[in-house]
Every structure is written in C-alpha cells, then in structure tokens.
Structure 1
Amino acid sequence: MDESWLAEIAERLVRVEGIVGVCLGGSRAKGTHHADSDFDLGLYYRPPLDTAALRALAAELTGEATEVTEPGGWGPWVDGGGWLTVGGRRVDWIYRDVDRVGRIWRECRAGRFEVGVQAGHPLGVYSHAYVGELAVGRILADPEGELHRLQQETRAYPEPLREALVGNARWEVPFTLSVARKGAVRGDAFYVAGCLFRAVGLLVQARHADAGVWVFNEKGAVAGVDELPTANDDFAARAHSLFAALGTTPDTLTAALDEAEQWAADVIAGLTG
C-alpha cells in the first residue's frame, strides 16, 4: 500500500518545534495489522513542544478543528497526543518524551523497571514498553538521526531486564494466586478474577522477556505468547480457559485457582531465567 501520505505527515511533524522524530508503531510496525487498523505515530519530542502548531497541522490534515492535548493530557504514561481521521484513515498521534525513553532504556540495561497506573491499561504500563515501541517501530522522520541511534541500541533485549522480569514472575505469581484463595472462600469473584488477571499478566511479561521479545501492553499479549520462538504449550488457550471457569461460588473459584496454580507452576518451570 502506498504510504507516501504517511511519510509526508511525518516530515511536516518534524518541522514543529520540539518534535525530534516520528515513528510508526503498533500493529502496523509489527506487521500484525488489519486493513482497518489505526496508524499509530509516536511523536518523539523534547520540551517545549509547540502544541499550537500541532493543532493547526491537525486541523489542516483533517479539515476540522481537532483536539490535540498538552503533554500529560492523557495521563502519566500514555502522555498525550491526538486522534485524527485523515482521508478516511484513523491516525493517532502519541507523545513520547525522548529523554524519558532514554532514561528508561538505561534503567532496562540495569535490570530495573516500574509499572505505572494508566487509564486503559488494567495491568499497568510497564516502563520498558517505551523502549520496545521504538525498538520495533518504523522510523518515518528523524532529521538528526537521534531515533535511529537509540533504536540501534535497543534492538537487543537486555539480559538484566530479562532476569528481572522472569525473577519477578517466579515469586509474585505463586504469591498472588495464594492470596486469591482468601477471596475464593468468601465467593469474592471480583478479587479472585483480579488476582488471576495479574498472575497471567506477570507470566506474559516473563515469557516475552525470556524469549527476548518486547511487549507493549495487555491487548493481544496473551495470544502473542503462542507466537514466540519458545512457544510450545498452548499458553493462550490455557490462560483463557481459567477465566471461563471462574464461576462465582467458593467451590468454582477454588477449583479455578487449583488449575491456575498447576498451570503457572508448569509455565514457571519452563522459564530459563
């Protein structure tokens, strides 16, 4: 598909004060997109960012006034941006503070990560998602070569981060499932489901890390485990079946946790970290 229109938008974006570069991310960068998938453009910036110029450009591209936020307008991690429709195509502008990405990359190489609360991310935003976005993204505009240099560094998954995520799953998953039993005996399906969701999310992170593959968020991440080079255990089918079997009584909740603990033990035993 001709994407010259996308390159043109990127070139116009980097003329805005504060924009360092533009990178195509999401499913279209990974090649897992559908015909109607959004075009996610990461706008890597360094303050001050001329949001007035961005709003003017958005209005020109869409033919109407379009909301474009200030940095932080969508929360502490998604940061901000705008949702545009350009020529019938959905194009999302998503801010990324390039210096923050660089700091997080240094943390990753030291085996440190954090998880931030963010609307739309029930498991939380794992800080290394910032690095993964750039590592697998397609750079569309980068006048000073800054994004290309950082991307080259991030191509290789850092061993300290792998060890940290695998090690975290080894202790926190059994702990989370054990405390879920306190809710199961009371028929507290809400609490049990929340614990189970977190346990599966931790295993998703660990399996991707163990394979040296960046994962960005919860959407599609469970199914993504089955696409890893190390996949051989029907991870997604077994994970989804746990939620289908929860029920709302102490007996069904306890049975689901019994199954979850055995499955989690099998997954953890297969990790190499």
Structure 2
Amino acid sequence: MERLMEIAKRLADVDGVVGVCLGGSRARGTHQPDSDFDLGLYYRTPLDTAALRRLASELTGESVEVTEPGGWGPWVDGGAWLIVDGFRVDWIYRDLDRVHRIWDQCQEGRFELGIQAGHPLGVYSHAYVGEVAVGRVLADPGGELRALQQETRHYPEQLRDALIANARWEVPFTLANARKGAARGDSFYVAGCLFRAVGLLVQGLHAHAGCWVLNEKGAVQAAGQLPAAPADFSARAQALFAMLGTVPDVLSAALDAADALAAEVCERLTS
C-alpha cells in the first residue's frame, strides 16, 4: 500500500489530475491475490497525458500506451494498463465535472444508459457516482474527492424510486417480448431478453437497498445477498441461462421461470 500511495501522490502532481481513488475489488475488500489495482484518475482538462506517459514509463521500465481522454470510449473514457512491481495497475480516467453532473442527475432521479465495450448490459451513469462512494481516496490535495464521497454515500431516494419503477415495468415487458422469440426457437433473442431482465432486477434490488452497482461482474451474486432478494435469487437467476436451447418448449420454460422470479422480486420491491 505504501507503494500505491506513492504512485497516487505522483499522479496527483500531474497537471489536470485532481485526485486519485482506488476502486474495484481492492477498494471493496473482495479482491483475490492476483486482482488488478484500479486507480481512478479524476481530472479536469487539459490533462497532461505526456507527463502521464513519462511517469508510466518510469514505473514500468518500458514504453507504455497512455490514451488521451475518450480513448477507450464514451464511458470507460481512457487511461493505461501497467505492470508495476509484478502487479497489474490500471489507470482509469474520470472527468470530475461529469461525475458532479451525474451526481446532480441522481439526486433528481435521472439516469442514462450508455453502450460500452466490455459492458454487455451497458453502463448505467450512476456507476460513476458509485465508484466515488465506495472507493478509497489515495490522493486528494484539494479535498474535493473526499467531500464528494461524503455526499454520495447517501443513496438518493429519487434514484432509488426511478430504478425500482424502471425494473417493475420493463422486466415484464421484456419477458413478454421474449415469448415471440421463444415460439420461433430464437435462443439468441430470448437469451438477450433474459440477460436484460435479470440485469434490471439486479439494479432494482440494489436501489431498494441503497447500494451502488458498478458493473455486471458479480452483480447477480451480490444482489442475492440483499434484504429484498428471494433467498435463492442468485441460483434461480443463473439457472435461467443454463436452461436455454433452441427448442421452443424449453425456451418457454425458461421464460416461465423468469416470469416467476421477476414477479417475486417486483413484489418485494414495493416494500
């Protein structure tokens, strides 16, 4: 951790970097020995990417690709993948003014969903806020990150209500549409609808509990541990995808199971 703090301090000295936050499993304490160290670089433009490249080369002993902002797409933004002292250390850009704007939207019960490679469900905008809320601030010379973290640890009621309402109407709608694909043996379409429906239930359960969802990885398992989840939510949700084939009757059976699970979760979300 001392080495990580040193890196964070040096990053914070780069023009444009406002602060550095440890995220991912390392911040939540759910990491494995070989887990990456995800460092969120919260910045304002202009960001001195040339200085970041020099620092990356110094830390790794080799030339490292460091992107410009937006180099990895509209939501992941940009950064670099490094190997430092034998550990994977990822730098991930976050436009701090954008995070503030999204936080304002969250408090009004508004969110958006963006397409991004590596995120099959899509990136929910409030994940940006969740990263600050559950992260570990390593460098914050002006105190802005810590102040924002203190605010975001309170999950907005308006966002909670919006995500629950979204799950309650969209899940039944999605599963009803999937029936058309099931009748034709279209497992591709049915699987997509099931994935979307389970993802919406996961978002609803987390919102009900006032917990931030950062991405899809491990989200079903985490949702199953929340108070409003049926006792066997995770197992039932995962089993839906093991049932699929190309036979209409089998696809319909999977949708029957999905309807039953969705109805149970949505009923619990009203409490």
Normalised TM-score (structure 1) = 0.98
- Do the aligned residues in 1 keep the contact of 2:19 with 2:41 (CA within 8 Å)? yes
How far 1:232 moved relative to its partner? 4.5
How far 1:229 moved relative to its partner? 4.0
Partner of 1:161: 159
Instruction: Determine whether 1:9 maps to 2:4.
Output: no
Partner of 1:256: 254
Q: In structure 2, how many angstroms separate the alpha carbons of the residues matched to 1:257 and 1:84?
A: 43
Q: In structure 2, how many angstroms separate the alpha carbons of the residues matched to 1:211 and 1:173?
A: 19
Instruction: Determine whether 1:141 maps to 2:123.
Output: no
Mapping 1:4-153, distance limit 5 Å: 4-153=2-151
What whole-Å deviation, never above 9, does each CA across 1:2-39 have from its counterpart, x for those lacking one?
A: x1000000000011000000000000111111111000
Letter in 2 for 1:135: A
Letter in 2 for 1:252: V
Structure 2: segments with no counterpart, 5+ residues: none
What is the percentage of aligned positions where both structures have the same residue? 73
- Do the aligned residues in 1 keep the contact of 2:229 with 2:268 (CA within 8 Å)? no
What whole-Å deviation, never above 9, does each CA across 1:176-207 have from its counterpart, x for those lacking one?
A: 00000111111000000000000000000000
Supply the RMSD in Å over aligned alpha carbons.
0.8
Q: Does the residue aligned with 2:207 lie in a helix, a strand or coil?
A: helix
Letter in 2 for 1:130: Y
Structure 1 moving runs of 4+ over 3 Å: 229-232
Q: In structure 2, how many angstroms separate the alpha carbons of the residues matched to 1:168 and 1:238?
A: 21
What whole-Å deviation, never above 9, does each CA across 1:219-256 have from its counterpart, x for those lacking one?
A: 00000112324444221100011110111111110111
Structure 1: segments with no counterpart, 5+ residues: none
Partner of 1:191: 189
Q: In structure 2, how many angstroms separate the alpha carbons of the residues matched to 1:53 and 1:141?
A: 17
What whole-Å deviation, never above 9, does each CA across 1:25-61 have from its counterpart, x for those lacking one?
A: 0001111111110000000000000001000000000
Q: Does the residue aligned with 2:38 lie in a helix, a strand or coil?
A: strand
Normalised TM-score (structure 2) = 0.99
Partner of 2:239: 241
Label 1:158 to 1:236 Cα distance change in 2 as closer, same or farther (>3 A).
same
Q: In structure 1, how many angstroms separate the alpha carbons of the residues matched to 2:41 and 2:32?
A: 22
Letter in 2 for 1:73: G
Q: Does the residue aligned with 1:70 lie in a helix, a strand or coil?
A: coil
Q: In structure 2, how many angstroms separate the alpha carbons of the residues matched to 1:238 and 1:25?
A: 29
- Do the aligned residues in 1 keep the contact of 2:103 with 2:126 (CA within 8 Å)? yes
